[in-house]
Amino acid sequence: MKIVALVSLTTILVVASFATLGFASDPSPLQDFCVAVNDAQSAVFVNGKVCKNPNMVVAEDFLFRGLNKPGNTSNPLGSRVTPVNVNQLPGLNTLGISAVRIDYAPNGLNPPHTHPRATEILVVIEGTLYVGFVTSNPANPALKNKLFTKYLYPGDVFVFPEGLIHFQFNVGKTNAVAFAGLSSQNPSVITIANAVFGSDPPINPAVLTKAFQVEKNVIDYLQKQFWWNID
C-alpha cells in the first residue's frame, strides 16, 4: 500500500514538474485577480506588481479604451505600436496576457525586435504586411539561422515564437493595421538596432567592429544615429 502511494505521489510530482515547464513565461495566478498598484506606492519589489486590495478593485481596473484610435506613424520608421500591457491595464497583473495595436504607414516598418517573455500572435485588419522571424543559432555551426516569412492580408494570422527576432513591413500602398496578443502581462521588447547601436553608454566600438566584421567608421556612423522607439 505504501509503495502504491509512493508511486502515485512520484507520478504526481513528475506530472506537475512537466506541467510547470509547459507554462508561459508568466506564472499562473493564485487568486481570481491581482490588480496592479503603481510601483511608487509599493513597499517592496516583486517579480511583477504588488496586488491592490481586492476590496478596493473596481471595474475600471479591467478596462482600457483607445485601441480604435490610429497611432501616429509620423516617424522615420513609419509605424506606431499602441501597447495594452500591465502598465496600461492594471487588471492584467498575473494573467499572463497583453495586447497591442500596430499602425503602419505605406512602407512602414516594425523593425527587427524580440519579446523576451512572450509569444506573439498577430492578425492583420487592413493592408498587406510582409512579416517574418529568424530562428535561434543552430546546433550545427555550419548551418545558418533560418528565416520564415509570409505576406499577410486582412484576416490572416501569423505567430512569432517567444524570444525570436521578428518584424513586420507594410508593402502596400495604403495604411495597414494589425492587432496582436502576447503571452505575458509585460512581454517587453528589445529592438535590435536600438539595443546594439543606441545603448547608453554606447557599446565599445571595438566590440561591434569585431562582431559585425566592418570598419570602425561604419560603427561610428551607426552609433551617431537617433534610434526610434515606436511604442
Instruction: Give tens-digit pLDDT for 17-76.
Output: 333 444 456 777 656 778 888 766 555 656 678 888 999 999 999 999 999 999 999 999
197 φ/ψ angles, rounded to the nearest 5 degrees: -105, -10
Bridging pattern class, strands 190-191 and 176-182: unpaired
Question: CA separation (Å) from 146 to 13, 196, 217?
Answer: 37, 21, 30
Q: Binding site for oxalate, residues?
A: 110, 115, 120
Which residue numbers belong to the known binding site? 110, 113, 115, 120, 166
* Domains (range + CATH), the chain: 76-188 (2.60.120.10), 191-230 (no CATH)
Report in angstroms the alpha-carbon separations of 42 from 52, 58, 85. 10, 19, 19
Binding residues for Mn(2+): 113, 115, 120, 166
More confident residue, 156 or 9: 156
Quick check: 119 pLDDT over 50?
yes
User: Tens digit of pLDDT for each residue in 130-154?
Assistant: 999 999 999 999 999 999 999 999 9
The pLDDT value recorded for residue 37 is: 81
Q: Which pLDDT value is given to residue 18?
A: 39
Q: Tell me the pLDDT tens digit for each residue of 163-204.
A: 999 999 999 999 999 999 999 999 999 999 999 999 999 999
pLDDT, residue 40, reads 60
Could you tell me which residue, 48 or 4, shows the higher pLDDT? 48
Q: What is the pTM of this model?
A: 0.84
Report how far residue 83's alpha carbon sits from residue 224's, in angstroms, rounded to the nearest whole number.
Answer: 28
Cα 138 to Cα 76, 119, 167, 172, distances in angstroms:
33, 20, 20, 33
| Secondary structure (3-state) at 124 | strand
**Which comes out higher in pLDDT, residue 43 or 108?**
108
The DSSP line for 44-94 is S--SS-PBPPGGG--GGGG----TTSPP---STT-EEEEEESTTT-GGGTT
